[in-house]
Amino acid sequence: MADPMRIRAVAKDGEVIVKVLMAHEMETGQRKDGAGKPIPAHFIQQVTATWQGKVVLSANWGTAIAKNPFLEFSFKGAKKGDKIQVTWTDNKGDKRTDEATIN
């Protein structure tokens, strides 16, 4: 299982700003190893953020995203003390979900 995501969520002026750092290799499948063999693709395909059971962000990603991706987004309606969950799923079926409390 991948390392936990680092999630910061701050409520300010009626909206919540969420910053997420995800630990993932994000291999494109186009590089070759030392022996010249292709390194298999391994990348995050889907990212979803939920608050109180509602999806506040849904994104489909491909191979053009950097290793250990950083994501920032905002949404309205939440308040300090609420929880936000972020989930990613990669092309190999691995999945990670973490949550943070909104400050």
pLDDT tens for the chain, 103 residues: list them.
568 999 999 999 989 999 999 999 999 999 999 999 999 999 999 999 999 999 999 999 999 999 999 999 999 999 999 999 999 999 999 999 999 999 9
Domain ranges for the chain = 6-31+40-101
Exposure string for 27-57, b = 16+ CB within 10 A, e = fewer = bbeeeeeeeeeeeebbbbbebebbbeeeebb
CB 18, CB 84: distance < 8 Å: yes
> Any idea which architecture 6-31+40-101 has in CATH?
Sandwich (2.60)
SS3 29: coil
